[in-house]
Chain A
Amino acid sequence: MIQVRLAAPRRAARVTGLILGAALLRALLLPAGDLLSTMVFAACLVGISRFERASATNESRWGSGRSIVAGLMVGAILLVPVVGGALSARPLGAFLPWAAVAALVATLEETAIRGVLYRRLAAEAGTVVAIVVGAAVFALIHLPRYGLAAMPLDAAVGLALGGLRALTGRVLPCAVAHTLADWGAWFWA
């Protein structure tokens, strides 16, 4: 029993380190191009989700349909402050490949942070710690690209997504909300 309790935080710390390391690697590879650095980052997240997967918990989970609706609502709320702005002139034809990559990376990030990391932290340190640490990791992995100025907003969004994870018991609504919020940047950024 003692071994389990000691091992769990070490594993949570390892997952945290791996996710932050993937983000750092991505930042270092950025001069080689956005595509390559994003691919390496995605591959790292796939690896983390695959090899660090925690065993299933007994938390209650919302159904898929209800989870998707919750994710869409949270994503829409995240976009409310910006939809009043002028629409961008970006061509719709180029949106699809960009949107697919954004959705994929958003889903992988959620699988790693709100999936693997959340489960490990929640099992050992509790839900609140899992939500707060997940928000901090979410803000930190975006630091190299957006700088310190964007960290408070990223932490706030991470907090909301962590809350959504705890409320629904699933990663799916977090991925939906995250993806929808990302897609808004095409139209209003």
Chain B
Amino acid sequence: MRARRAGLLALALGLIAAALLHGRMAAPPVYDGIIVPPEPYRWESPPPNLASGNKPPLSGEATLPIQNGQVAGGGVQTGDNQVVIYFGPGAFKAPGGATGVKCSIAPDPNPPASPAGVEIRGNVYRVGCVGEPGGGLVTVVSPYHLTLRFPPGAFKEIQYDDGSGWRALPTLTAPGGDPYASVNAPGFGEYAASAPSGAPGPSIFSDLGRYLEFFGILAFVILFGAIAIFQEVRRRRHRAPAPTKNRRR
């Protein structure tokens, strides 16, 4: 009885604490450490074969306060997490009289033309900040960190266009084949993933790898499911009392 009371109390406390802590997280975690595959890429202009299931990309916006004349550090991301920017304190210089800086990331429906020999892969995003109130000019004092998701297929580097034409930036790609790449962004303007024109997309080996992974997961479930069922059956057999013989003698 005491154990049950303790259990009920722990259950109530745990659920209340989990509800309060959940509020600070954007998404529910998986309590097993299993990776949840990313959502399909959201295209501004999807390829014809992906148009039917495509969801439009989302933008993101945040207003950051100015403290002691400096823009406090912070981050902004699009609603679909396809672009995330992060900057430290003092990365931006705000106009005099501004009390905050409004930063936004938005997919550009009419981006500048691709540079020669390069194919833009996925969406082009416009990143910018303005002073609040008044919309005054904000300048970048030191590079900020930008992470961009790219669609399945070829990828080489992130391109940047501040209005004077595209240029490639030194790019870091995420390990483990995750479709994300990062740069030290030098300013405001357009950002896009890119690959050399005509670069091959996914090879037969990468397709094969995906199939192997899928069937590997299925084999894994069947194998361990069978072991678990076998153990349970054995355990029950051992627990069951042995049938008595010649009971009527």
A interface residues, Cβ below 8 angstroms from B? 23, 26, 31, 34-35, 38-39, 41-43, 46, 50, 59, 74, 77-82, 85-86, 88-91, 94, 97-98, 100-102, 104-109, 122, 127-128, 131, 135, 138, 141-142, 144-146, 150, 152-154, 156-168, 178, 181-182, 184-186, 188-189
Q: Within 8 Å CB of A163, what residues of B?
A: 6-14
Closest chain-A Cβ to B215's Cβ sits at a distance in Å of 9
Instruction: Report Cα–Cα, A91/B214, bound state, in Å.
Output: 14
Q: Within 8 Å CB of A98, what residues of B?
A: 34, 36-37, 217
Closest chain-A Cβ to B226's Cβ sits at a distance in Å of 11
Partner of A50, one of B8, B34, B42, B231: B231
Verify if B22 is at the interface (C-beta below 8 Å from A): yes
Verify if B163 is at the interface (C-beta below 8 Å from A): no
Instruction: Report Cα–Cα, A83/B30, bound state, in Å.
Output: 14
Q: Within 8 Å CB of A122, what residues of B?
A: 3
Partner of A160, one of B3, B15, B25, B214: B15
Instruction: Report Cα–Cα, A127/B28, bound state, in Å.
Output: 29
Verify if B39 is at the interface (C-beta below 8 Å from A): yes
In the complex, residue of chain A having the shortest beta-carbon distance to the beta carbon of B216:
A35
Contact B33 A145 (CB under 8 A): yes
In the complex, residue of chain B having the shortest beta-carbon distance to the beta carbon of A42:
B224
Interface size on B, residues (CB 8 A): 52
Q: What total count of A-B pairs have CB within 8 Å?
A: 192
Secondary structure class of chain A's binding surface, majority of residues: helix
Q: Within 8 Å CB of A161, what residues of B?
A: 14
B interface residues, Cβ below 8 angstroms from A? 2-4, 6-15, 17-19, 21-23, 25-37, 39-40, 42, 53, 55, 79, 175-176, 213-214, 216-218, 220-221, 224-225, 227-228, 231
Contact A188 B13 (CB under 8 A): no
In the complex, residue of chain B having the shortest beta-carbon distance to the beta carbon of A145:
B33
List 7 interface pairs A-B (beta carbons < 8 Å), by A numbering: A78-B15, A81-B28, A128-B6, A128-B10, A150-B29, A156-B17, A160-B10
Instruction: Report Cα–Cα, A135/B7, bound state, in Å.
Output: 12
Task: Say yes or no: A159-B17 contact (C-beta < 8 A), given A35-B216, A97-B214, A166-B7.
Answer: yes
In the complex, residue of chain B having the shortest beta-carbon distance to the beta carbon of A139:
B31
Closest chain-B Cβ to A145's Cβ sits at a distance in Å of 4
Closest chain-B Cβ to A53's Cβ sits at a distance in Å of 8
Contact A159 B176 (CB under 8 A): no
Contact B10 A162 (CB under 8 A): yes
Contact B39 A185 (CB under 8 A): no
Task: Say yes or no: A160-B18 contact (C-beta < 8 A), given A46-B227, A89-B40.
Answer: yes
Q: Within 8 Å CB of A165, what residues of B?
A: 7
10 tightest Cβ-Cβ pairs between the two chains A and B: A166-B7, A160-B14, A163-B10, A163-B11, A159-B14, A167-B7, A156-B17, A81-B22, A189-B27, A145-B33
Instruction: Report Cα–Cα, A78/B9, bound state, in Å.
Output: 16
Instruction: Report Cα–Cα, A162/B28, bound state, in Å.
Output: 20
